[in-house]
Chains A and B, each alone.
Chain A
Amino acid sequence: MARLHEMTALEIAASIGAREVSVEEVALYFLERIGRLDGSLRSFIRTVPERAVAAAVALDRRLAGEVSARRAGGLFGVPFAVKDNICTRGIPTTCASRILESFVPPYDATVVRRMYEAGLVLLGKTNMDEFAMGSSCENSAFFETRNPWNLETVPGGSSGGSAAAVAAGLVPFALGSDTGGSVRQPAALCGIVGLKPTYGAVSRYGLVAFASSLDQIGPLTRDVADCAAVMNVIAGHDEMDSTSAPLPSRDYSARLGADIRGIRVGVPREYMGEGAEPGVRSCVRDALGVLEDLGAVVEECALPHTEYALSAYYLIAPAEASSNLARYDGVRYGLREDAAEVHQMYERTRRRGFGPEVKRRIMLGTYALSSGYYDAYYLKALKVRTLVKRDFDIAFEKYDVLVGPTSPTVAFPIGSKTGDPVKMYLSDVFSVPVNLAGVPAISVPCGLHDGLPVGLQMIGRPFEEDFLLMVAHAYEQAAGTSRLRPRMVSEG
């Protein structure tokens, strides 16, 4: 048997089902690994070993009571981690912010509840850019997370902790959130699979809001089959979320392994220009070759408003954020800086509680919504959003999948972009249009450049994640790129 940290979640579940290993042994294995290796990586804000072991023991007992140990298709017994902006009852949920450092939610996010109900074991909460604002995990109020491929580089962000933990084999998979690329970009930079589902496919209840019309929770996994299996647990209608799509539940794994001969692949020329570094483009071109070999018809196409999407995004997301983050006022929970008068208390609390990037975006968003600027900025951005969405509508009339790079660069050195917000924002140039349009997109590893992973982004039609996963799976199987692992993993 392979070592647990080199196995996929589905392989681990199968092994548990076959009673080759107990749920408790699996949990302890990964907890030990985190204890040993996370000191240099710093992907977890906190682990919950007692809870995890207690949950694992209870699951083993349940398993012992079953006539047949095999639980069809599930992830029963598999450990997981969640980004620290997803609420967990009784476990602090900090958003990597001072302002929520002491906050303990009295409720579980819908995705967490579904995980528990499906018999999965939570190991801990992962590091992130504060309130999911960032592309490098350097905006955590607590510490930076490092990329397991090269500890001098960033893991990407904002779900950098989740991506690094999965890539380093500290946990079989993790959940992140994606508002402008925050699942896909760190997945790309850490060489794993990350999916941003269609807006409305996964409940946002319990995800601490950054930009409500863009946020989606998504899986970060070792391979595409695991990604589909996690979607089977977390996706589906939730009456606690008014923006959750009222669609019947579906099997995201159903089309895996199907032939993709004849599918039409569009390659947006805006994604393959100078914006992406040559090494990235070269890996993507290799991937397009693999798709052609599989029988796909690959053609260049256009998403003409791509260059405007980033600007629209950096108005819409901060505007919504400025409102979503107003509730951190020191009244009901979180940090409070005392003052004689309540508005002074607000100002001091928020000054001390928020980091510079969060403040920057609150300021930008407040400005964009304020009297006299609403039409020129916020409303304008919403109109551009319409144009960006139309680009996708038009492209999907002709193509089944759009393919390009996930991120314009591979993992960059820690500290190299922190001085210049605009430069940092440009990391999101290929990922934000997807959020503006609400469509699903997956990042799968497509090779290495300078010894660092490159991510291939595949974008699909709304609510056709099963098709997208089918294409990604076919590519992954043919290219073998998901088997690339950092030394941290192969060395044990």
Chain B
Amino acid sequence: MAISRDEVLHVARLARLELGEDEIEEYTRQLSRILEHIQKLQRLDTKDVPPTSHVLDLKNVLRADETRPGLSREEALSNAPDAVSGFFRVPKIRES
């Protein structure tokens, strides 16, 4: 199972990772090798096996609808790379 260069670029785009030319090549090669290794899963017949997304047998974990004070604005913004008058600021947004 090989992954193509175009697929690598598509996945990088979905994951918002800019890749250099060398990285594109490296990931195409490495991901192909990993997927090849993982390919052995296809040998297992799992037609009637339910998926396990969680090992715990828990359900209905709920909290009461009560408020508690959170962070002060100063704390909330303390790690912000760019903040102005109480807001986080980001570069312009192009829809995509």
Contact = CB atoms under 8 A, between A and B. Distances in A.
Tell me if chains A and B make direct contact, with any CB pair below 8 A.
yes
Interface of A: 102-104, 106, 199-200, 213, 239, 242-243, 245-246, 305, 307-308, 311-312, 314-315, 322, 326, 329-336, 338-348, 350-351, 354, 359-360, 362-364, 366-367, 370, 376-377, 379-387, 389, 421-422, 425, 436-438, 462
A387 B49 contact: yes
Given A329-B16, A347-B17, A421 B34 contact: yes
B78 A367 contact: no
A305, A332, A354: which has the most chain B beta carbons within 10 Å?
A332
A339 B92 CA distance: 9
Nearest to A381: B41
Contact of A350 (B3, B18, B40, B54): B18
Contacts of A341: 91-94
A350 B17 contact: yes
Main SS at interface, chain A: helix
B16 A347 contact: yes
A242 to B, nearest CB: 4
B15 A362 contact: yes
B1 to A, nearest CB: 9
Given A330-B81, A333-B80, A383-B46, A213 B55 contact: yes
Contact of A340 (B38, B55, B92): B92
A312 B41 contact: yes
Interface in B1-41: 3, 7-8, 10-12, 14-19, 23, 27, 30-31, 33-34, 37-38, 40-41
A103 B79 contact: yes
Nearest to B71: A106
A270 to B, nearest CB: 14
A316 to B, nearest CB: 9
Given A331-B88, A364-B34, A380 B58 contact: no
Given A342-B90, A351-B18, A367-B3, 15 more contacts: A106-B75, A213-B55, A245-B58, A246-B58, A308-B41, A332-B80, A336-B81, A350-B15, A350-B16, A366-B14, A367-B11, A370-B14, A376-B42, A384-B49, A438-B55
Contacts, number: 165
Contact of B79 (A104, A239, A345, A367): A104
Contact of A367 (B7, B18, B80): B7
A243 B79 contact: no
A98 to B, nearest CB: 13
A351 B21 CA distance: 13
B35 to A, nearest CB: 8
Given A380-B41, A380-B46, A342 B17 contact: no
A342 B94 contact: yes
Interface of B: 3, 7-8, 10-12, 14-19, 23, 27, 30-31, 33-34, 37-38, 40-42, 44, 46, 49-56, 58, 61, 63, 71, 75-76, 78-82, 88, 90-94, 96
25 contacts: A199-B56, A245-B58, A311-B38, A331-B80, A331-B88, A335-B81, A340-B91, A341-B92, A341-B94, A342-B92, A343-B16, A345-B91, A347-B16, A359-B17, A359-B27, A363-B27, A366-B14, A366-B15, A370-B14, A377-B38, A384-B49, A386-B46, A387-B49, A421-B30, A438-B55
Contact of B18 (A322, A336, A348, A421): A348
Given A200-B58, A341-B94, A367-B7, A382 B34 contact: no
B58 to A, nearest CB: 7
B63 A239 contact: yes
Contact of A383 (B12, B23, B49, B92): B49
A275 to B, nearest CB: 14
A462 B90 CA distance: 46
A384 B41 contact: yes
A199 B92 contact: no
A336 B88 CA distance: 13
A56 to B, nearest CB: 27
Q: Which 6 A-B pairs have the closest CB atoms?
A: A438-B55, A382-B51, A333-B79, A336-B81, A383-B46, A347-B18
B38 to A, nearest CB: 4
A103, A307, A381: which has the most chain B beta carbons within 10 Å?
A381
